[in-house]
Structure 1
């Protein structure tokens, strides 16, 4: 029976080499966890900003100006709110991207894999393309005033990007994409809950996915 182990180990080595040549397998579970934490912090900051805006509408001159017919103050306050929310979203994305990149680079170095070979380039392109298209769609929605569709479209296009990119990295990432798609589609018919769905998709699902990937691929190491 022992004589069968060397051929089996050889086949496993060949399989591993083929996977490394066609897939980027150094994604870190900590990348998903860190991105999820950043998303939850960003959602919390956005919620606090929205609450402060609503309190201002109820209590200060902005609310009174609305009933006096002076909508300039109200419009300025709403514009400031949207600018702050987009600023929070931008900072959250940058923080999540940097933290994910650092954890993935650390694991890539441990595995001795390149961070920018042809496989990674294909992975990046197949991830970025749906997100770029989604960005233009979301920009047009904002220009048209359909703010309630921003959160579900973020989830849907991000989910499509993950499913599309799963061919070039660990296959489990497609399930994270499915989860984003499901949440995004549900959120299309649940207006007013976009921030909570956004936090669930980009925050909680990322943390659950990252913890699972760490347990499966990195725990023993």
Structure 2
């Protein structure tokens, strides 16, 4: 066996081990759709739920509608990601649910749920100003924490979300725009990059 063949075999073995210990990358299209859903949700909120940038309080009608809108965006994003990733897994003859998937979800959900509870605590104390910043930061932490169990560069999206969240916290009054950038624009950009990478493979 030549040295070149030996190195090729080693590379193939490494790739197999890497894929067995990591979840397949999410479909790039799922990121694009998540960003589109976020932008649509932000548009609805801006034009119908936040007229003249009125102050929204915890028990107001606007706040309840905003929460419902956020839940709708999240559900649509999760369902779309599941359907597209399942289709991608079948095309690659890969498993969609195994121990690696469980570890991925656990590492993703711990920062996300912790952040969600913390945000609810702050909202209940009538501290509304950092809501967008906290959402971005904890979402970014969740992506970075889960990235070691998935293939792809999702950790870089996580880094951008964290930085956007910190800038949002440092620049009060621009939370809505940072939220649109982090959850809308960045998802579309990241999803587009992943989609074209998938096409090249």
Alpha-carbon contact 1:50-1:81 (below 8 Å) kept: yes
Aligned partners of 1:199 and 1:18: how far apart in 2?
A: 38
Q: How far did residue 128 of structure 1 move?
A: 0.5
Q: How far did residue 16 of structure 1 move?
A: 1.6
User: Equivalent residue for 1:219?
Assistant: 199
Is 1:199 paired with 2:180? Answer: yes
Structure 2: 5+ residue stretches without partners:
none
Report Cα offsets for 1:45-75 as digits up to 9, x if no partner. Answer: 11112344x39x7xxxxxxxxxxxxxxxx99
Structure 1: 5+ residue stretches without partners:
58-73
TM-score (norm 2): 0.92
RMSD of equivalent CA atoms: 2.3
The alignment partner of 2:188 has SS state of helix
> Of residues 63, 70, 73 in structure 2, which corresponds to 1:92?
73
Describe how 1:31-110 pairs up with structure 2 within 5 A: 31-52=30-51, 54=52, 79-110=60-91
| Number of positions where the alignment pairs a residue of Structure 1 with one of Structure 2 | 201
Describe how 1:44-193 pairs up with structure 2 within 5 A: 44-52=43-51, 54=52, 79-193=60-174
Q: How far did residue 101 of structure 1 move?
A: 1.3
Whose radius of gyration is greater, 1 or 2?
1
User: Equivalent residue for 1:61?
Assistant: none
Aligned partners of 2:48 and 2:170: how far apart in 1?
A: 24
User: As a proportion of its length, which structure holds more helix?
Assistant: 1
Aligned partners of 1:3 and 1:75: how far apart in 2?
A: 70
The alignment partner of 2:173 has SS state of coil
Q: How far did residue 142 of structure 1 move?
A: 1.0
Q: How far did residue 119 of structure 1 move?
A: 0.6
The alignment partner of 2:170 has SS state of coil
Aligned partners of 1:75 and 1:173: how far apart in 2?
A: 33
Quickly say closer, same or farther: Cα 1:134–1:75, change in 2 above 3 A. Answer: closer
User: Equivalent residue for 2:20?
Assistant: 21
Q: How far did residue 187 of structure 1 move?
A: 0.6
The alignment partner of 1:188 has SS state of helix
User: Equivalent residue for 1:65?
Assistant: none
Q: Quick check: 94-103 or 121-130, which moved more?
A: 94-103
